[in-house]
A and B are shown apart, each in its own frame.
Chain A
């Protein structure tokens, strides 16, 4: 199951004392159902902000965002929470696992929040953890897991309710290169197996290059989408992104 993502003319500014910092200026992006898109850009370019807006964690000042046709702006806080629960799985740079819950319980949380039957939620969490090779780690608490394991648990948790959209903010940013590679491989594999639409933010060109498409965010403007299918994995994606830069 997957959904299309449509963002049009999204702007966002933050007030920092008397100063207003414009982070996004009319950014637009469309992602087809089942597609995986990487958003790249320098630090502070607003990549994460854009992702949070897509996920309904923040409200845009202008523009509109539709997930599977649903306009996020029109939803109340409670309905937005329910929508996030049902539709979106988040993976953050720092795993954000709940330290008081075991790996298995962390993966069960979205299901329990949704009010699904405990047995069904349990079964699904076990399957997912087994799928990422953590069968032996069910009852370990996050502080008993390695960085890579934690992030794998976080990915399982994001996919626990089989959401049609996966949003990942620097999912491997906190891992050593070898582990980062493994975890990302796993993410791609799960994404394609579950046919999930995915948008991920990264500053790692190697990782961005392995996505079906790259969108480059610079100066608060997201480049018009450009097909980068077929980009050789070892090719510098920065070049591909650079082509998308707006004429100065």
Chain B
């Protein structure tokens, strides 16, 4: 069957590249190297997609976990500010769903001989959303599940909450403030090792322990993005009523962790991209071999009037085609593998140790675009480098070698 390639109205470099891509298969060495280059790129792209997907998957899960324990927006009120007026100002901002006063501070809980330093969170009304597992329950003392289990305390039993803030007693000098409270319930703690245990208790109790100095407003806006959008308006609304207030969103509150997650992803990208880098070197080798084995033909094309630019373009296109096939294979393979691994939960992990019972994969459009674009750009750059050699061939020398 006669090929109709040369009858197609495509630019000449494309015709040459397409024919060489096809004919390369007949040359054992050239086809081997081209396959190595193409498969190397496919492998690199698939590895990039999968490793970024697993990081994204974990990050997404971790973020969900983490953010469920973090207020959407937390406002620190300056000492002496009118908390009620500030709360009213905050509640009036468009997008704000709820604004509740809160008191935070350090303290201890004591049960018999056991002492644990904790962060006291005094909240108003029902338990807020950042105590997962207990959210919405009636006010009272709430402990992390782990701590309650370790100490063997059940709801209903009484614990002492101690504040470092002393009360001056008429006799005997400063006395620490202590309140005895029955345990109302527990919440699931996702705390990392060096994070302090957090206990929840009604605001009045917390204020009696900590005083009225460390007051905050916890604001919900009905979502992470909504919270980010509302934050600037909150600062503006607070300026006249409580100047010196500090508005912190979930992003500000978790900045070190979010930064670490992003850094982890970036470093993984760089490390795995080395596979692609090696594959593009194979691409250079492959193109160089094709060019070396076709010296006489390239020379003849030059004698027939093909310019150096035309030849360069042809071999760059050939490199682009090999890389494109690799990208297509690797891209499809990576995305499909990520979907299958995630959907069928094929990689289990112990759920008691981690907060997940399988390895999640999440392919993000932006990541995919970066992987494909960067790989293709690098492949084109490498191809251009190799193709320059074809362009630089002296037709005469090439014909007579």
Contacts and interface: CB of A to CB of B under 8 A. Distances in A.
A102 interface: yes
Contacts of B395: 57
A74 interface: no
Interface residues of B, number: 30
A interface, by DSSP: helix, strand, loop or mixed?
A: helix
Given A58-B396, A102-B2, A96 B296 contact: yes
Contacts of B262: none
A81 B302 contact: yes
Contact of B2 (A55, A83, A85, A139): A139
Interface in B281-320: 296-297, 299-310
A118 B303 CA distance: 21
Nearest to A138: B2
Contacts of A42: none
Contacts of B399: 92, 96
B6 A122 contact: yes
Contacts of A57: 302-303, 395-396
A77 interface: yes
Given A92-B399, A122-B6, A86 B305 contact: yes
B172 interface: no
Given A78-B307, A86-B305, A113-B301, A105 B6 contact: yes
A115 interface: yes
Interface residues of A, number: 37
B4 to A, nearest CB: 9
B130 interface: no
B269 interface: no
Contacts of B369: none
Interface of A: 52, 55, 57-58, 77-78, 81-86, 90, 92, 96, 98-102, 104-105, 108-110, 112-115, 117-119, 121-122, 138-139, 157
26 contacts: A57-B303, A78-B307, A78-B308, A78-B309, A81-B302, A81-B307, A82-B307, A84-B303, A85-B306, A86-B305, A90-B303, A92-B399, A96-B297, A98-B297, A99-B23, A100-B19, A101-B6, A104-B2, A105-B5, A108-B6, A109-B301, A112-B12, A113-B306, A118-B7, A118-B8, A122-B7
